[in-house]
Chain A
Amino acid sequence: MKSLQKQLQNATKRKKALLVLSGLLITAGWTVDIFWASGWSFNVLMLLATITAGFEIARRAWQGLWNGHTNIELLVTIAATGGLFIGVFWEAAAVTFLFLLGGWLEARTMSKTRDTLKELINMAPEMAIIVGDEGRREIPARQVEDEMQVLVKPGSKIPVDGIVESGVTTVDESAITGEPIPAEKESGSEVYAGTINKNGRIYIRATKSGADTTLAKIIRRVEEAQEEKAPTQRFIERFASWYTPGIVGLSIISYLFTWNLELGLTLLVIGCPGALVISTPISIISGIGNAAKKGILIKGGEYLENAGKVSAVALDKTGTLTTGKPSVTELIYFSQETALAGVSQEESLAEVHTASLVNGNNGSLPSEGEELLYWTAIAESASEHPLAEAIIAETNEMTDLPEPDQFESHTGQGIEAVLGDNHIYVGKADFLKEKGISIGEGINKEIQNLTNRGRTVVFTARNNKLVGAIGIADPMRTETTEMISKLRENGIERIAMLTGDAKSTANAIAGESGITEVHAGILPEDKNDIILAMQEEGYQVAMVGDGINDAPALATADIGIAMGAAGTDVAIETADIALMTDKLMNIPEALRISKLTLRNIHQNVVIALVTVGALLAGVFAGSVHMAAGMLIHELSVMLVIFNGMRLRWK
């Protein structure tokens, strides 16, 4: 008996027990009625079923009243009590049983929609092994204090943020950074709660635990986004606050006009605003949860709704459409035979060779190409220019790169360096010409071709002879073209590129990627003006950017999308949608999920309103009674929940 009492103290188990008992009593009632046609036994069993299921409902209604709220439970309690009073015992039993069953099913399915959050929360272990003077002991991870030493065994998850004190291992940090390759960790390395210690035993000194960890901050952001109400939800909640008393009023008026108490009570049952109040949050939780699983952090219902209406997208070029890291794309050099024959190298186009390195195919570079890179890199090794970095990066395999004996930089023009008896010039064509080095027609045509394709070209000469030229570009990301066509597929009418870069460079990227509207050579404040102009023309604009210079435009746009936000708090704070990784395809994906969610919200509101409308009409026409009304009402709530849940797999 005591154990049963204890079991029933558990709210979940108690509700389940009451539900089963009420169901059994209803079944028994119908059995008695069909086989023995005993009217009074039927009524007694239905009365018991009503009391059993109604106990929990009445309790919550009473608690609500005590706390000063009117709730759905109150409507159901009045309806069921009234039903018993006027002698419709079966209707009263059905109403309470169906309401309790509906609530149980709703809770189960709602819990499923919160799965994304649970997955995130379950990433970090609940317990931590701490090592102290008294040896090892296991304590809840959230109770680990700063400076405590924590032991993490191979294969287990790290419970707190901290610094490795001893031990060597690799850690899978994909949960935090999205980086799939495990990171090497040794004494002094930082580790995060929720990441997986792959192979070594490590001792860490805790720096943050529980709600202060980096994982907790990410979880908090997802939660805040899910808690943030969409404009539609706010509107519906305002609507519901006068809707419930309105239904009570309608039911009283109907009773006073018809003196039909059952009609009044049925109105109370069908008027429960369950489907309507749940219509928006269910879609928002599912939509934001689905996006979060893909590394897209949508900051809340409002942004989800706004993103769902986007009709124009403005994209920053550098770092968004391109990798943001200049690299060597072409090498232009002269053939060995010509040089040996003593013919002037640059006289004929046929003697000029271009090696494209765009796809990283520099493995089979001819010796002339290597020589060009070699002499250029020697000069550039003393330079701090961003283009120098690209050239040095290309010569990674040349281990013996000597430092120049002398070096001089001519700002904006080029550099000159001396190594032994080699005098090297690297720079613009004009700079080399100024130094008396001739650049022939053949190579000029090739250079023009590269410039038209948006390349920056540097020339290299050694001992007054042109060795060749190097094309450098900020290469387009591999996904850019696919991303643009996906945006168009998703109904984005206008796609514009905004960049401070030169027109030729911008046009080259736009041409390759399929963007037709280019605004090049502009300042950050111009980006803002362009977005404002687009908005004035009636577009709902999303701006995609990655840098601080994009911040004003991100703020002005209807939706600001920040790229590669993992680890950078500023980007997450300022943007409406933050992409946790650099995955470009997540831009159309974020807009697609938003559109789907917006449509889902509309569908749910329509389902809820149509059901209530149809039920009201049915009640006044006399064809819908209490039990049927509650059944249809509960079905509409479940339909809305399932419709919202579809978004989880979209």
Chain B
Amino acid sequence: MTTTKTILRSDELSCPSCVNNIESNLNQTEGISKAKVHFNTGRIEVEHDPDIASEEKLIEVVRRSGYEAHISQF
């Protein structure tokens, strides 16, 4: 399994508890080994296998949790 780290950003996190849902949903997705959501900065760090969980898939999971996100280079 090849693991890569992708950074997503969401401008929409409005309360610290918002992060729990996104984090749990990401962590339960196949192909994602670790996900961490930072409320203060809107940064979402995901360690994943791009063959199983693609970048588009990550965005989709965040969207299913109720928030929009985009891939960030930093």
Give chain A's interface residues, CB within 8 Å of chain B: 9-12, 15, 56, 59-60, 63-64, 67-69, 71-72, 103, 106-107, 110-111, 114, 117, 121, 124, 126, 140-142, 210-211, 213, 215-216, 219-220, 223, 226-227, 237, 274, 277-278, 281, 284-285
A63-B65, A121-B74 as given contacts; A223 in contact with B12, CB under 8 Å:
no
A11 touches B74 (CB 8 A): no
A211 touches B65 (CB 8 A): no
Q: What are some 20 contacts across the A-B interface (CB < 8 A)?
A: A11-B63, A12-B12, A15-B66, A60-B21, A63-B65, A67-B21, A69-B20, A72-B15, A111-B12, A111-B42, A121-B72, A124-B73, A140-B73, A210-B73, A211-B73, A215-B74, A216-B74, A227-B38, A227-B40, A281-B40
Nearest residue, chain A, Cβ from B11 = A111
Nearest residue, chain A, Cβ from B5 = A211
Q: A223 touches which one: B11, B17, B38, B73 (CB < 8 A)?
A: B38
With the chains together, A213 CA to B7 CA distance in Å? Answer: 15
A79: min CB distance to chain B, Å: 17
A72 touches B66 (CB 8 A): no
Secondary structure dominating the interface of B:
loop
B31: min CB distance to chain A, Å: 18
Asked if B13 is at the interface (CB within 8 A of a chain A CB), the reply is yes
From B11, B16, B39, B72, name the one whose CB has the most chain A CB atoms within 10 angstroms: B16
With the chains together, A42 CA to B38 CA distance in Å? Answer: 43
Asked if B29 is at the interface (CB within 8 A of a chain A CB), the reply is no
Query: Which residues of chain A come closer than 8 Å to B24, judged between CB atoms?
Result: 63, 67-69
Query: Which residues of chain B come closer than 8 Å to A216, judged between CB atoms?
Result: 73-74
From A11, A64, A227, A274, name the one whose CB has the most chain B CB atoms within 10 angstroms: A11
Query: Which residues of chain A come closer than 8 Å to B16, judged between CB atoms?
Result: 237, 277-278, 281
Chain B 27-38 interface 0/1 with A at a Cβ cutoff of 8 Å (1 = within): 010000000001
B13 touches A63 (CB 8 A): no
A11-B12, A106-B15, A223-B43 as given contacts; A67 in contact with B72, CB under 8 Å:
no
Query: Which residues of chain B come closer than 8 Å to A56, judged between CB atoms?
Result: 66
Nearest residue, chain B, Cβ from A105 = B14
B74 touches A114 (CB 8 A): no
Asked if B68 is at the interface (CB within 8 A of a chain A CB), the reply is yes
With the chains together, A219 CA to B43 CA distance in Å? Answer: 11
With the chains together, A59 CA to B14 CA distance in Å? Answer: 17
Nearest residue, chain B, Cβ from A57 = B66
Query: Which residues of chain B come closer than 8 Å to A223, judged between CB atoms?
Result: 38, 41, 43
A64-B21, A67-B24 as given contacts; A10 in contact with B7, CB under 8 Å:
no
Query: Which residues of chain B come closer than 8 Å to A117, judged between CB atoms?
Result: 41
With the chains together, A114 CA to B38 CA distance in Å? Answer: 12
Nearest residue, chain B, Cβ from A61 = B21
B20 touches A64 (CB 8 A): yes
Chain B 51-74 interface 0/1 with A at a Cβ cutoff of 8 Å (1 = within): 000000000000101111000111
Query: Which residues of chain B come closer than 8 Å to A284, judged between CB atoms?
Result: 40
With the chains together, A264 CA to B21 CA distance in Å? Answer: 27
Query: Which residues of chain A come closer than 8 Å to B28, judged between CB atoms?
Result: 67
Query: Which residues of chain A come closer than 8 Å to B12, judged between CB atoms?
Result: 11-12, 107, 111
With the chains together, A63 CA to B43 CA distance in Å? Answer: 21
With the chains together, A69 CA to B72 CA distance in Å? Answer: 28
Query: Which residues of chain A come closer than 8 Å to B15, judged between CB atoms?
Result: 72, 103, 106, 274, 277-278
A406: min CB distance to chain B, Å: 60
Nearest residue, chain A, Cβ from B23 = A67
A639: min CB distance to chain B, Å: 15
Q: B13 touches which one: A60, A69, A110 (CB < 8 A)?
A: A110
From B21, B25, B39, B67, name the one whose CB has the most chain A CB atoms within 10 angstroms: B21
A282: min CB distance to chain B, Å: 9
